[in-house]
Amino acid sequence: MLSVSIPPPQCLKKPLAVPHRHMFGPGPSNVPPRILEAAAKPVIGHMHPEIFEIMDDIKSGIQYMFQTRNIMTFAVSGTGHTAMECAIFNAVEAGESVLTAVNGIWGERAAEIAERIGGRVNTIVSPPGGFFTNAEIEQALLKYRPVVFFLAHGESSTGVLHPLEGIGELCHKYDCLFLLDCVASLGGAPLCMDEQGIDILYSGSQKVLNAPPGTAPISFSERACQKIFNRKTKPVSFFLDLKWLANYWGCDDKPSRIYHHTGPVNAFYSLRESLAVFAEEGLENSWKRHKKVAEYFHTGLESMGLKLFVKEKKARLATVTTIVAPHGYNWKEITNYIMKTYNLEISGGLGPSVGLVLRVGLMGCNSSETSVDMVLAALKDALKHCHKSKV
């Protein structure tokens, strides 16, 4: 007979304690009570007809958020990284050419993922805070002839909102799929998948959507599906294989859905509710609100003598603002002081922007002048109390 030699951990005998915080970093953002309550509804089977109805609602909501009529639209079970891998694993085969635009960490990540599965990866690189001209993109498309071009719409590590006009047409001119990451921009900046010629678009639930992390909206155009469903080899991941996911989400023409994996049903509830919130507000109203609040924030920062990291106004991401790290201060001391004193999260840089910036995220329900005033007051207090070097 087996004997239990490891005792129950003492830590689990204490009740779960989670503090309330103002989540004003680059994500996740605060989750409104309405969405939390939706997530707490009873668990039902992942193959029950009621969950299929909820999944269908989610598909419609994502089509609205993405502004697409693509049938192949659903939510991946996982975070935005999972959707990034889903896109690349399905669209790229070993030996194929891939072009990634690197102006922050997400281009770096996409390049590494494509390289890991055998893609021939080439990059165009811009310093943090910069973006690419269409001429630079076209030159690289002509030189490398990729099957996929990756770009981050909202580069949350640097605070850049990349212009999209004409890029879809360029990709199609060179028989290339346009893959766009909109994790940080969805709902906070104008984006229309079909109109802008985007072939694969993905996002995440935990930013502007204000749902808990764990689901990732994604959509594939007919052009993308044609390439993917005519692959010579199977995708490297069974879990992220589009043929299986298409059936699980009812996106194919099969009469019934077949078990693929156990979907996170409670996460589906919260995602469905967050999409309902956006349907009520309206996309255009959300875009305008985020823009107005970001401008109010930027004005307040500049009045304090702080500098914005992204020089060109048109390229500033409304959802995640990057502030030049104040000279003479340790950025970690600033973020730690604000967390300890105000229970409020802002963060430092990420990837190539580490040590260069402070990042403040005002997304979804957090995008308000009240939130801005809280952040400005906390920053002002931190700069007064944190040590400043005289060097």
- Pick out the residues of the known binding site for substrate: 359
CB distance 220 to 242 below 8 Å: yes
Q: Which residues pair with 75 in a beta bridge?
A: 217
For 267, the 3-state DSSP assignment is helix
Q: Please give the annotated binding residues, written as ranges.
A: 359
CA–CA distance, 119 with 94 (Å, rounded to integer): 5
Given the DSSP bridges, would you call strands 160-161 and 200-202 parallel, antiparallel or unpaired?
unpaired
DSSP state of 367: -
Buried/exposed code over 244-270 (b: 16+ C-beta within 10 A; e: otherwise) = bbbbbbbbbeeeebeebeebbbbbbbb
Q: What is the dihedral of CA 211, 313, 154, 91, to 10 degrees?
A: 150
CB distance 244 to 250 below 8 Å: no
Tell me the angle at which helices 331-342 and 369-385 cross, rounded to the nearest 10 degrees. Answer: 120
CA–CA distance, 57 with 74 (Å, rounded to integer): 10
Sheet containing strand 347-348, strands side by side = 320-324, 357-361, 347-348
CB distance 154 to 184 below 8 Å: yes
How big is the CA angle at 376 (ends 372 and 381), to the nearest 5 degrees? 150
CA–CA distance, 80 with 85 (Å, rounded to integer): 9
Please report, as a single letter, which amino acid is at residue 282: G
CA–CA distance, 194 with 244 (Å, rounded to integer): 24
CA–CA distance, 131 with 240 (Å, rounded to integer): 30
**Residue whose structure tokens are 């993922």:** 113
Distances from the Cα of 163 to the Cαs of 114, 121, 155, 167, 175, in angstroms?
Answer: 24, 23, 11, 9, 21
Q: What does the radius of gyration of the chain's CA atoms come to, in whole angstroms? A: 22
CA–CA distance, 168 with 333 (Å, rounded to integer): 43
